[in-house]
């Protein structure tokens, strides 16, 4: 009887050890799965969107069309050796809002007056067309062109004719102005009309050296009469 009781106690003890071992294995498995779960959650986080760094279509700068300078405007072109015609040109440009352009030969004329007279006579005799230093930009954008020059031996300097014949005057208005000792336009108006074929030539203004001190008032009166004052 005592042996039977001892046998049952042994069986109970073995079953108790087995139950404790199963509980410990279950706890260990659960603990080891947390790092894996934690790593998965981290890698599953959404990456920062790259769209925020890319410019949208609205952010692109739009191209703006450029309006040609002087469109429908006025040009004041002049040839001046002593500065008298330049003075007159500046007054006209100021009162009309026009752009200034100097008609200058590629090879400048001498500063010696007597020598200049000989050169002027020779160029007239040869009907020369001296090359110019510059050309007008945006010529087509000007509707009205003032052309000024001194009287050289009864005519415009030949460089002025080079200028006139270098452009298309069709549909443009040409307004001559002139400075001289006493003889005004001389015979130049006829030559200008021929060299600027297609232009409408308005009444010009010629001032002598004695009239230049009153150039401001004279130009104002002249422009008002033409209806070209700004």
Query: What is the percentage of the chain residues whose pLDDT exceeds 70?
Result: 69
d(CA 149, CA 23): 117
Top pLDDT among 159 and 38 is at 159
Would the pTM count as exceeding 0.85?
A: no
The architecture that CATH gives domain 73-226 is: 3-Layer(aba) Sandwich (3.40)
198 and 171 Cβ atoms separated by less than 8 Å: yes
Query: Each residue of 121-158: b (16+ CB within 10 Å) or e?
Result: eebbeeeebbebeeebeebebbebbbbbbbbbeebbbb
Give residue 18's Cα distance to chain centre.
95
pLDDT digits (tens, 9 = 90+) for 12-33: 433 343 333 433 333 333 333 3
Q: Calculate mean pLDDT across residues 198-223.
A: 97
Joined together, the tokens standing for residue 34 give 């947390």
CA distances to 135, 139, 212 from 224, rounded to whole Å, are 29, 25, 18
N- to C-terminal Cα distance for the chain? 140
How is residue 56 written in tokens?
Answer: 């949208």
**pLDDT tens string 35-94:** 333 322 233 333 333 333 333 333 333 333 333 444 579 999 999 999 999 999 999 999
42-46, 110-114, 137-141, range with the lowest pLDDT: 42-46
Confidence at residue 71, expressed as pLDDT on a 0 to 100 scale? 59
Instruction: Note the pLDDT of residue 116.
Output: 94
91 in helix, strand or coil?
helix
Give the DSSP per-residue string, 18-60.
HHHHHHHHHHHHHHHHHHHHHHHHHHTSPPPPGGGGSPPGGGS
Q: What is the DSSP letter of 206?
A: E
Tokens at residue 41, please? Answer: 């959650």
Nearest Cα neighbor of 145 from 107, 176, 110 is 176
Domain boundaries, the chain: 73-226
**Chain-wide mean pLDDT for the chain?**
78
Angstrom distance (rounded) from CA 181 to CA 209: 6
187: its two tokens: 């015979």
The pLDDT of residue 42? 30
Burial 180-190 (b: 16+ CB within 10 A, else e): beeebbbebbe
Pairing outcome for strands 142-150 and 173-180 = parallel
Tell me what pLDDT residue 72 has.
78
């Amino acid at each position: 009887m005592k042996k039977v009781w001892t046998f049952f106690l042994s069986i109970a003890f073995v079953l108790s050890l087995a139950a404790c071992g199963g509980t410990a294995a279950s706890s260990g498995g659960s603990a080891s799965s947390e790092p894996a779960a934690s790593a998965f959650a981290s890698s599953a986080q959404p990456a920062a969107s790259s769209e925020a760094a890319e410019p949208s279509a609205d952010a692109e700068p739009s191209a703006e069309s450029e309006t040609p300078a002087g469109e429908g405007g006025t040009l004041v072109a002049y040839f001046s050796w002593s500065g008298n015609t330049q003075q007159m040109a500046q007054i006209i440009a100021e009162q009309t809002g026009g752009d200034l352009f100097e008609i200058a030969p590629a090879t400048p004329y001498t500063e010696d007056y007597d020598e200049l007279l000989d050169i002027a006579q020779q160029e007239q005799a040869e009907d020369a067309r001296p090359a110019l230093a510059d050309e007008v930009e945006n010529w087509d954008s000007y509707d009205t062109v003032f052309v000024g020059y001194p009287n050289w031996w009864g005519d415009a300097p030949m460089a002025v004719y080079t200028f006139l014949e270098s452009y298309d005057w069709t549909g443009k208005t040409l307004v001559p102005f002139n400075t001289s000792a006493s003889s005004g336009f001389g015979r130049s108006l006829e030559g200008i009309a021929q060299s600027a074929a297609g232009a409408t030539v308005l009444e010009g203004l010629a001032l002598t050296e004695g009239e230049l001190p009153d150039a401001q008032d004279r130009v104002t009166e002249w422009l008002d009469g033409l209806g070209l004052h700004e």
